[in-house]
Amino acid sequence: MNRIQVIKRTKLFLEIAEKFPDFRYLGDSILRKKTKPATIKEGIKIGKRLVSILIEYRKTTGIGRGLAAPQINIPKSVFVTYLDNEVQIYINPKIISKSKKLNYFRELCLSCGTMWADIKRPDTISMQWKDKTGKTQIREFSGFVARLIQHEYDHLLGISNLDEAEAKTIEFVTSDPLQEKLRPA
Ligand SMILES: [Zn+2]
């Protein structure tokens, strides 16, 4: 019986929706639009704003490892990550390769409220982006960080994690998201 966890999670969602007026949720058209490239100056400004909101969100919920510009109603190609106490700003990112090897993970998204879903994605990716000095960076990412980056990148394409859910896996979040592990596909 998961009724109590559903009530707890729904109350937290209500608190978040009230506390973060900039957040947009599925059903808002901004989350379905492809973003436009940002100038470096714009990208830095947007990135800093995303970082400060994400840090505040983490303080409130204990979770939250990434945030993309459309999620706060900005139609530009910028997202940020917050992992191991380190923040990164990615401006105009482009995934240039993806591994054949895939894995599964139950993904949560603050734009999807209280629901999560199991999604299959490549284990390793290469991405290029502009950093805050305007320099082009190219790096390979694998494991959880690759997963996180692909989730945020999808927001820039107007795609939500629930769009890519494995059949019959969309569920209320009733266990600790931080305990989720990548599973081989
Ligand atoms: Zn998301």
- CATH code, domain with 125: 3.90.45.10
Single pTM value for the model: 0.97
Q: Which residue has the higher pLDDT, 132 or 40?
A: 40
Split into its structural domains, the chain has a count of: 1
With cut-offs at 50, 70 and 90, classify the pLDDT of residue 11: very high
Are the C-beta atoms of residues 103 and 183 closer than 8 Å to each other? yes
Question: Has 78 been labeled as part of a binding site?
Answer: no
Q: How far is the CA of 100 from the centre of ligand 1 (A)?
A: 23
From ligand 1's centre to the CA of 78, what distance in Å?
13
Annotated binding-site residue? 142: no
Residue 72 CA, ligand 1 centroid: distance in Å: 11
Res 132: pLDDT: 87
59-79 pLDDT, tens per residue? 999 999 999 999 999 999 999
In angstroms, what is the span from residue 67 Cα to ligand 1's centroid?
7
- Whether pLDDT at 38 is above 90: yes
Tell me which residue range forms the domain holding 62.
Answer: 3-184
pLDDT tens profile 69-105: 999 999 999 999 999 999 999 999 999 999 999 999 9
Please identify every residue annotated as catalytic.
152
Closest CA to 93 of 152, 145, 32: 152
Report which of 49, 29, 46, 30 is spatially closest to residue 38, judged by C-alpha positions: 46
109 is annotated as contributing to ligand binding: yes
- Residues 6 or more apart whose Cβ sits within 8 Å of residue 19: 60
The maximal CA–CA distance of the chain, rounded, in angstroms, is: 52
- Is residue 164's pLDDT more than 90? yes
